[in-house]
């Protein structure tokens, strides 16, 4: 079993559903309440199935993904979050510098859902494959 690439994960129904649910929960149409949502994508190394865990709610342009929950028989293979602020108003829809830096630091692909679609940054797949512990890779 290999660590899935960002493109492979984007074809997974569980990942697509998680991105859309996070987008809905971000309240992008509400200027006062819109905020980032997101979480982590896991691969169960026994069954090969994809799992999702959501992070605590974020701020208007912030979400803390530094501490993924540790799940039995599963490793973190990506993070995901939303950019709910409108690109038409000048907000960056794609990865921020902090998104790219944290993705390389965490060692897994970063998937972003924005109003103009889906963006990715960071490594193409989990650094070092599926070894190295169940949270982020070493």
* Rounded least distance, CB 83 to Zn ion, Å: 5
Smaller CB distance to Zn ion: residue 37 or 99? Answer: 99
Give the residues lining the site for Zn ion (CB under 5 A): 96, 99
Cα-to-chain-centroid distance, residue 137: 15
Short-list 56, 43, 59, CA closest to 108? 43
Strand-pairing partners, residue 7, are: none
Smaller CB distance to Zn ion: residue 58 or 74? Answer: 58
Smaller CB distance to Zn ion: residue 37 or 43? Answer: 37
Burial class of residue 39, CB neighbours in 10 A (0-12, 13-18, 19+): buried
**Residue 64: other Cβ atoms inside 10 A:** 12
Helices (H), the chain: 6-10, 13-25, 97-106
* Rounded least distance, CB 92 to Zn ion, Å: 8
* Rounded least distance, CB 102 to Zn ion, Å: 9
Smaller CB distance to Zn ion: residue 2 or 87? Answer: 87
* Rounded least distance, CB 47 to Zn ion, Å: 30
């Amino acid at each position: 079993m290999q660590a899935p690439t960002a493109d492979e994960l984007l074809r997974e129904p569980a990942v697509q559903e998680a991105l859309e649910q996070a987008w809905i929960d971000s309240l992008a149409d509400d200027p006062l309440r819109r905020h980032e949502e997101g979480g982590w994508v896991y691969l169960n190394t026994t069954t090969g199935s994809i799992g999702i865990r959501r992070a605590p709610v974020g701020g208007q342009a912030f979400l803390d993904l530094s501490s993924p929950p540790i799940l039995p028989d599963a490793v973190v293979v990506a993070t995901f979050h939303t950019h709910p602020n409108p690109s038409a108003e000048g907000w960056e829809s794609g990865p921020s510098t902090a998104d790219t830096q944290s993705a390389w630091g965490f060692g897994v692909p970063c998937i972003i859902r924005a109003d103009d679609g889906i963006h990715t940054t960071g490594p193409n797949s989990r650094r070092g494959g599926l070894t190295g512990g169940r949270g982020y890779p070493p």
